[in-house]
Structure 1
């Protein structure tokens, strides 16, 4: 997506990013912070979140916040308490990037272990349901709020051996569309983004023999993410966006 980045396009916005310790989430945190946003870094590994925190502070960008949370084990109360803390500390939430996700193992559908299926659905789908549900009242306090789900081409057309992951992305698309329709006349917009082939650990797990030099880096695809978080995309709702178009 071609998007002209204006300086401080996210100034004074409060944005929460899941899976912000690594890969696309980490790059989004740095990119959004550089554009003036205050980032709430959510992830499982505190050391990774602290490294992103330190890099943001060292660059003189708005001081971020850290929320250590394991999406696999978090309960609904954990998300409700987190939403209350965000509201108390910041007053509003202007943006939410649902970036965290797991791949599972590529294998025939009939060989997917129940535990693996449940883990993929818990992190890729159920945790998003609980997180968005808890944060809706805080998002509603913003003048204009953007919720961005991470999709995949595999959420549009299923493919052999990608069972749990592919199904989770179909569910992600459905969740985004339901919310976009329900909130069509509100100040909250919901969209999904397909990063496309990008050099990340998840991609390497799926395609270990692939030459990473042929792939986009997380930084390469940030223009689409910036557009969807910025006020420029007000009016864009219920859309599936290809970051590498």
Structure 2
């Protein structure tokens, strides 16, 4: 993976942050995308202090971004890098755990925008750069909520199920290309979303983001899997 370039969404915190550091440790130039500018800057400093390849920062709020914003991102990446070797979708928003008939409409739209529309728009905009790579990888961070529908999952459950479908559709469409597309469910991890969904849960027994970052790096770097819904 050395000398490759990979863009990571949700890079400022939790799994996105840990995966970005793991990729940088392997010699990857990581493009760090998140709305949390302070988090991006501190991660940039950590990567630089460790002597890893210099990262790039791209502040962006996926919830409010338009199609033009994604095209501008693609143009900026193209101006600074010859190609893109990977795209890791880690950004996510929980919303609320609520019955469908009680679910706030505006909140529903925000969750769907961040968790489903943004990965579509971002992938669509960056596919030309990914096609320039001889071995590119697109990986969606999945969640068990996208596999088994349950009450009160709301927009989060629907969006995660949709992102799995998006992954499969992309895998079929890119079957004869140099781009691999997969999803990975890391299991129960101590993240901000997990704490928000289960505030009373004991977190000591949960995996940390650092625990799963190595597996994400492994999937991004291997050539065998394509169209797979991988899990821990």
TM-score scaled by length of structure 2: 0.98
Partner of 1:70: 61
**Residues 1:204 and 2:195 are matched in the alignment:** yes
Partner of 1:15: 6
**Residues 1:219 and 2:222 are matched in the alignment:** no
- Say which of 24, 28, 32 aligns to 1:33: 24
**In 2: Cα distance, 1:69 partner to 1:100 partner:** 11
**In 2: Cα distance, 1:18 partner to 1:144 partner:** 20
Measure how far apart 1:235 and its partner are: 3.0
Deviant stretches of 4+, over 2 Å: none
Partner of 1:174: 165
233-242 or 170-179, which deviates more: 233-242
**In 2: Cα distance, 1:169 partner to 1:202 partner:** 13
**Residues 1:56 and 2:66 are matched in the alignment:** no
- What secondary structure, in the 3-state scheme, does the structure 1 residue paired with 2:111 have? helix
**Residues 1:229 and 2:220 are matched in the alignment:** yes
Measure how far apart 1:224 and its partner are: 1.9
**Residues 1:187 and 2:178 are matched in the alignment:** yes
**Residues 2-151 of structure 1 correspond to what in structure 2 (within 5 A)?**
10-151=1-142
Tell me how large the CA RMSD over aligned residues is.
0.8
**In 1: Cα distance, 2:47 partner to 2:218 partner:** 21
Structure 2, unmatched stretches of 5+, are none
Is the Cα contact below 8 Å between 2:35 and 2:61 reproduced in 1?
yes
Structure 1, unmatched stretches of 5+, are 1-9
**In 1: Cα distance, 2:128 partner to 2:228 partner:** 22
**In 2: Cα distance, 1:90 partner to 1:235 partner:** 26
Measure how far apart 1:223 and its partner are: 2.8
Partner of 1:239: 228
> Deviation per CA, 1:84-126, whole angstroms, max 9, x where unpaired?
1111211100011000000011111111111011001010011
Measure how far apart 1:56 and its partner are: 0.2
Query: Number of residue pairs matched?
Result: 232
Is the Cα contact below 8 Å between 2:3 and 2:27 reproduced in 1?
yes
**In 2: Cα distance, 1:91 partner to 1:82 partner:** 14
**In 1: Cα distance, 2:186 partner to 2:68 partner:** 31
